[in-house]
Structure 1
Amino acid sequence: MPNNDNQHAADPRATTAERQLDATGNHRVLITGTGLYTPEHAVSNEALVASFNAWVAADNAANAEAIARGEREPRTESSAEFIVKASGIHSRYVLDAEGILDPERMRPRLPARDNDQPSVQCEMGVAAAREALAAAGVKAEELDLVIVACSNLERPYPAVAVELQAALEAGGYAFDMNVACSSATFGIETAANAIRSGSAQRVLMVNPEICSAHLNFRDRDSHFIFGDACTAVVLEAADVATRTDGFEVLGTRLVTRFSNAIRNNFGFLNRTAVLEDDVASATTLDSATHREQADDKLFIQEGRRVFREVCPMVAELITTHLGELEADGGDLDRMWLHQANRHMNDMIARRVLGRDPSSEEAPIILDRYANTSSAGSVIAFHLHHADLPAGSLGVLCSFGAGYSAGSVLLKRCG
């Protein structure tokens, strides 16, 4: 793994000297602004369960004879209590609630747009970006780079990032990237490296996550997991930043390890396959509509396996990263972790800190936002950083499919 840490201070809590280059001769990097777009529709566990259970009852009735003959098992209902116990999620925000809660549809209704209209992700990105730019005191035309990093892009090309760049009338260049739920931390490192090297001074990194569109709302084990949101982060070289109370990026660390435990097989090669193969795995109700949306073309995961394999990997990543800066878990004031599952966050924080975390040390936002993929850790940072005094040390960490994980160590300036 490449070394991308700024080793300008042995003690990450020490006051940073008023130089604009670190000890390795690279430009210092600051996060000076963040933004958040939240959809207006909120769906509670109770509403989601009512829709799911209505579909379960209808599907069991439609297949009553097969169930009676023992040819298939009856589907099992869900419950709000089950969802909270499994994940810690109580509700989620989505772009369209009506389509999701319709037992005969159970997917968001997002009409196709004309090519001359702004894309959905571009609109989300503009809203989050404008808030982040305002917080940083940066004009869009001052940007040198725009990165759109998320788990699912609504089209292969032209890049959503280039569309967003045009909508904002931003300068520089732009590109898309995808590392699933780790896209934000991978995007932050990409932005930070561009600034460190001098190829950019100001970078906008945006995470427009429409997770409800790739979620199988007819799968009891995962129908509750995701929500929609968009986050934005402005990163600047220290010598051009006007905000003095941002967060310095002390270092970044990334890791990937291949696994099929989290997967989504949707792609342009799907149309080349024999559609009859999809029919067999499609649901009985509305099978004609869903013949090209078989289960493996949506989000699938082996939840227990993910928990067992990812938690140790992430805890080790953070601990090792801290050690490279001559720090440890006891030096952390805040952990902005990926918001996928409450139990995973508690486990990781416990391993890093050596004790149970407080709600202030490891803030949770998934209770009301659910899993928003790469946006989750940035939402936690956006909503839970203002109280930290100068010199505070925190880690922003995301993890997910791949497996992939990213650690970003931050120190509050002042």
Structure 2
Amino acid sequence: MSAITPVISATGLFTPPDSISNAELVASYNTYAERYNAQHAAAIAAGDLAELALSSVEFIEKASGVKSRFVMSKAALLDPNVMAPRWAERPNDEISVMAEMGVLAARDALAKAGRDPADVDAVLCAASNMQRPYPAMAIEIQNALGIEGFGFDMNVACSSATFGIQTAADFIRSGNARSVLVVSPEICTGHNNMRNRDSHFIFGDVATAVLVEAVDMAPHPHWEIVGTRLKTVYSNNIRNNFGFLNCATPESVGTDDKLFVQEGRKVFKEVVPMVSAMIADHAAALGIDPASLRRLWLHQANQGMNRLISQRVLGHEASEDESPTVLDTYGNTPSAGSIIAFNRYSDDLAAGDVGVICSFGAGYSAGTVFVRKAA
């Protein structure tokens, strides 16, 4: 019996209603930094503490390419006394914030595919951070949508969505499911250190959904999944040490390593060649000339990284059409970034066009999903 061909039937997107511009973010951070410097003036003068440098719009855009980001908790993030997401804790009988975001993205994908939730067999919640350890976010999303079957959470940081797509595709190929939702709700501002000049601007919030199905039930048009490949290489250069073993200890409160930390230059130097080679090698294994790829939907982490990866894969400087960006308006949205790019910039491709969805991030982790447009 031949394996069933998995396809992407549709994708969905939930974008929060509020957005923070770089100017707003800089005003908040600089107020905090000026207060800090004033409060610790004596220690700074004595050389016991380092003075906090101010941020600027120009610095942020040059470092990242980010111009604004969508967020779930704007007022609290911009409050110099808080600088973190805040919302009222919900009772256990009310849907959680993360699940609510995921449900909205999932409904968008289902509507585009003309699919009823009863047709879906499984839900995978693939994201960089979960709102709680258990019950699984995927099961809560499954319950809210009224889906029978099963669900589970998975976390491979910024590569979670592509790892989820391969997992879903494998379920389809093996016959263990015919329709799988891969949902990636990302409240990334919750694990960002808004008091760190080098990273206060990086993240935004969003949720995406990818409906992976057997080809014989897929709507038209759809995207055939030509091949998937995953890769992990251990690295400490992107890290977050928050967890249930340390979150309640007095000594851990307020320590920077319980939030996102990275060695940005090392990440750039090591990840760019790794991902470029991975895309090229995977393309060759599939009999695809990398230079012929119609579009690259890359992880939206850093404009410079994406520019260089695209150039190495295509053999020339990529145009915005060949490697579109959403980083400027969404910021870095971990696992959701490449899916947002695919969601917004894929309808215009013609039948037969081939592209690659690629994510990469902490771990290191990377995933490639080569797709072909079907009429």
TM-score normalised to structure 1 length: 0.89
Partner of 2:62: 85
Give the 3-state SS of the residue equivalent to 2:372 in structure 1: strand
Distance in 1, Cα, partners of 2:13 & 2:263: 30
Distance in 1, Cα, partners of 2:289 & 2:229: 15
Match runs of 1:205-354 below 5 Å: 205-241=182-218, 243-271=219-247, 273=249, 275=250, 277-278=251-252, 292-354=253-315
Q: 2:143 aligns with which of 154, 166, 173?
A: 166
Partner of 1:95: 72
Give the 3-state SS of the residue equivalent to 1:117 in structure 2: coil
2:63 maps to amino acid: A
Partner of 1:8: none
Q: 1:126 Cα deviation (Å)?
A: 1.0
1:349 maps to amino acid: S
Q: 1:49 aligns with which of 4, 26, 29?
A: 26
Give me the identity figure in percent: 54
Q: 1:384 Cα deviation (Å)?
A: 0.0
Partner of 1:120: 97
Change (3 A) 1:271 1:345: closer
Q: CA RMSD in A?
A: 0.9
TM-score normalised to structure 2 length: 0.99
Computing the radius of gyration over CA atoms, which structure comes out larger, 1 or 2? 1
Give the 3-state SS of the residue equivalent to 1:51 in structure 2: helix
Give the 3-state SS of the residue equivalent to 2:334 in structure 1: coil
Partner of 1:376: 337
Unaligned runs of 5+ in 2: none
Q: 1:184 aligns with which of 151, 161, 168?
A: 161
Question: Could you give the per-residue CA deviations for residues 60-97 of structure 1, whole angstroms, max 9, x where no partner exists?
Answer: 00001111112122110000000000000000000011
Mapped contact 2:162–2:367 kept (Cα < 8 A) = yes
Q: 1:271 Cα deviation (Å)?
A: 4.5
Give the 3-state SS of the residue equivalent to 1:293 in structure 2: coil
2:20 maps to amino acid: V
1:303 maps to amino acid: G
Q: 1:111 Cα deviation (Å)?
A: 2.1
Matched, 1:156 2:133: yes
Q: Which moved more, 1:322-331 or 1:172-181?
A: 322-331
1:173 maps to amino acid: F
2:211 maps to amino acid: V
Distance in 2, Cα, partners of 1:338 & 1:127: 22
Matched, 1:105 2:82: yes
Q: 1:110 Cα deviation (Å)?
A: 2.1
Following TM superposition, where does structure 1 have runs of at least 4 consecutive aligned residues deviating by more than 6 angstroms? none
Give the 3-state SS of the residue equivalent to 2:162 in structure 1: helix
Distance in 2, Cα, partners of 1:318 & 1:293: 39
Give the 3-state SS of the residue equivalent to 2:217 in structure 1: coil
Matched, 1:147 2:124: yes
Give the 3-state SS of the residue equivalent to 2:235 in structure 1: coil
Change (3 A) 1:139 1:94: same
Distance in 2, Cα, partners of 1:294 & 1:112: 23
1:239 maps to amino acid: D
Q: Count matched residues.
A: 375
Question: Could you give the per-residue CA deviations for residues 248-268 of structure 1, whole angstroms, max 9, x where no partner exists?
Answer: 000000000000000000000
Mapped contact 2:284–2:290 kept (Cα < 8 A) = no
Matched, 1:196 2:179: no
Distance in 2, Cα, partners of 1:72 & 1:130: 50
Distance in 1, Cα, partners of 2:161 & 2:320: 23
Mapped contact 2:228–2:369 kept (Cα < 8 A) = yes
Distance in 2, Cα, partners of 1:203 & 1:391: 24
Change (3 A) 1:313 1:157: same
Question: Could you give the per-residue CA deviations for residues 303-342 of structure 1, whole angstroms, max 9, x where no partner exists?
Answer: 0000000010100110000000111222200000000000
Question: Could you give the per-residue CA deviations for residues 118-152 of structure 1, whole angstroms, max 9, x where no partner exists?
Answer: 00011101110011001111110111111000000
Question: Could you give the per-residue CA deviations for residues 40-78 of structure 1, whole angstroms, max 9, x where no partner exists?
Answer: 110000000000000000000000111111212211000
